[in-house]
Amino acid sequence: MDSIPLVTRATIDLHYTLLSQIGNLGSTPDGKLKGFCRAPWSDEETKAICLVQASARFSGLITLYDAVGNLRIRTPGDHTTVFAVGSHLDTVPNGGNYDGAAGVIAGLEAIKTLWDARVPLQRGLELIVWRGEESATRGVAYVGSKAATGTLDPAILTRTWRGSTLAHAMESQNVDPTFVQQQKQCFPDTGRQYLGYLELHIEQGRVLEQSDIPIGIVTSIFGNKRYWVELEGQADHSGATAMNDRKDTHAAYAAIHMALEKLYQREGSPTNVVWTNTMFNRGRADFDVLVDENTGNTSVPGYAYFRFETRSNNNTLGDSYATKALRVIEGTARSRDVIVRIHPDSSTPALEQLDISLTKALKESARYLGYGHTNLPSGGGHDGVVVSSVGIPVGMLFIPCRNGMSHSPLELANHEHIAMGANVLAQALYNLAK
């Protein structure tokens, strides 16, 4: 392997000095950090994207926006075959500045390093800054990559967050939502063959940190299935109704949770399946009114709803586990005389195996650079799942994050690790594209 210049920690520090000012919510009066908010198609997300664009332009890289507002940064030249890297700059509300951003900065620096040194390459390189990867605001993940690939359900355009529909948010950032409405496609671009897509991300788990290993080579990405579950019992007087004569939805919810834990102990697979009741009596405005009507401080609760999800890196296993879990939910509610209605909400398949040759390229680069590395699955979802769905090979690497935390104001990654990850990306891109 040939050596290329190394990305340094100081370069990453510089990017973060600027990026940490965009969407930063500051701190509470008692000094607690409030984290970041760069919502999908918000002014804050756009500002962060413009910052990355400016840095790329300064190096003489080509920058352009696709029809749904994703930023593309390209090495100059007429390349018909391309290797891409990518990640996102949006955050969950009160999130951190590393989930997504670390991958964008590392990808930018990897491409800039090769371009600035004018390393001769046969293939083009492209950084894609996806918009709207996080699902926290409107309940659907990978919105930017799905919109670009024509695979986004247009129904999501009417979902609101803080009073603004997704369509309106897009318009506010000069993106025409009719492109999504008509499920048109702008990625992969015509005339450009994408030979592979790489993404660096913080681990969002503790494996790397606890084992003091700077680089994780991702083997699979978990998919998910999400449901809204309604429980309808009977609102009654909390003093006058006999204990054995109640249809208490909150008690049913508690029993369901315990029954799901028992199911997992019996039939779960710690390395392949996880499940969570993510929300209780919040998150769906159309159900909230029923909660208000059927619960009170002197009432046996007569209505409740919650959001349930399973995640797996094996689609067959994930599907069969979800089916079993839904049966447990239904059976437990019935045993408490509570009516249950299950509404499937969204589902994303797992990427069971990342591309073998890209995985090998990342591993060989880490080894060449002398960086410790290990294989691990990704419990969180990433845009690579969507990129893979349009037939482009995908490889991913992780760097550690403090205490495995993300989607939190306390989210933090060591800038030295981001620089190391950028070097692995640069070396792998060089080996693939030379």
- Site for Zn ion, rule CB under 5 A: 99-100
Query: Please, what is the minimum distance in Å from the beta carbon of residue 88 to Zn ion?
Result: 6
Question: With respect to Zn ion, which residue has the nearer C-beta, 99 or 230?
Answer: 99
| Cβ burial, residue 345 (10 Å; 0-12/13-18/19+) | middle
Question: With respect to Zn ion, which residue has the nearer C-beta, 40 or 124?
Answer: 40
Q: Both tokens of residue 156? A: 């999501």
Rounded CA-CA distance 416/357 in Å is 27
Query: Are residues 224 and 348 in contact, defined by beta-carbon separation less than 8 angstroms?
Result: yes
Query: Are residues 46 and 31 in contact, defined by beta-carbon separation less than 8 angstroms?
Result: no
Query: Please, what is the minimum distance in Å from the beta carbon of residue 85 to Zn ion?
Result: 14
Longest distance between any two alpha carbons in the chain, whole Å: 82
Question: With respect to Zn ion, which residue has the nearer C-beta, 100 or 233?
Answer: 100
Q: Both tokens of residue 107? A: 């990808």
Q: Both tokens of residue 269? A: 């697979």
Query: Please, what is the minimum distance in Å from the beta carbon of residue 54 to Zn ion?
Result: 22
Long-range contact list for 322-329, CB < 8 A, 24+ apart? 322/225, 324/263, 324/267, 325/260, 325/263, 325/275, 326/227, 328/256, 328/259, 328/260, 328/263, 329/229, 329/256, 329/259, 329/260
Angle between helix 101-116 and helix 43-58 axes, rounded to 10 deg: 20
Query: Please, what is the minimum distance in Å from the beta carbon of residue 134 to Zn ion?
Result: 7
Question: With respect to Zn ion, which residue has the nearer C-beta, 144 or 318?
Answer: 144
Rounded CA-CA distance 267/310 in Å is 13
Rounded CA-CA distance 415/260 in Å is 40
Query: Please, what is the minimum distance in Å from the beta carbon of residue 96 to Zn ion?
Result: 10
Query: Please, what is the minimum distance in Å from the beta carbon of residue 267 to Zn ion?
Result: 30
E strands in 22-69: 62-65
Per DSSP, the three-state class of 328 is helix
Q: Both tokens of residue 413? A: 């990654």
Q: What one-letter code names the amino acid at 413?
A: A
Question: With respect to Zn ion, which residue has the nearer C-beta, 99 or 248?
Answer: 99
Rounded CA-CA distance 278/263 in Å is 17
Q: What one-letter code names the amino acid at 200?
A: L
Query: Please, what is the minimum distance in Å from the beta carbon of residue 101 to Zn ion?
Result: 9
Query: Please, what is the minimum distance in Å from the beta carbon of residue 100 to Zn ion?
Result: 4
Q: What is the DSSP string of 189-247?
A: PTT-EEEEEEEEEE-SSSHHHHHT-SEEEEEEE-EEEEEEEEEE-B-EETTTS-GGG-B
Rounded CA-CA distance 346/324 in Å is 18
Question: With respect to Zn ion, which residue has the nearer C-beta, 4 or 274?
Answer: 274
Query: Please, what is the minimum distance in Å from the beta carbon of residue 145 to Zn ion?
Result: 12
Query: Please, what is the minimum distance in Å from the beta carbon of residue 148 to Zn ion?
Result: 17
Distance of CA 99 to the CA centre of its chain: 8
Question: With respect to Zn ion, which residue has the nearer C-beta, 281 or 313?
Answer: 313
Question: With respect to Zn ion, which residue has the nearer C-beta, 100 or 393?
Answer: 100
Per DSSP, the three-state class of 339 is strand
E strands in 354-419: 373-378, 394-399
Query: Please, what is the minimum distance in Å from the beta carbon of residue 319 to Zn ion?
Result: 25
Question: With respect to Zn ion, which residue has the nearer C-beta, 100 or 268?
Answer: 100
Question: With respect to Zn ion, which residue has the nearer C-beta, 213 or 221?
Answer: 221
Question: With respect to Zn ion, which residue has the nearer C-beta, 93 or 100?
Answer: 100
Tokens 């990978």 belong to which residue? 142
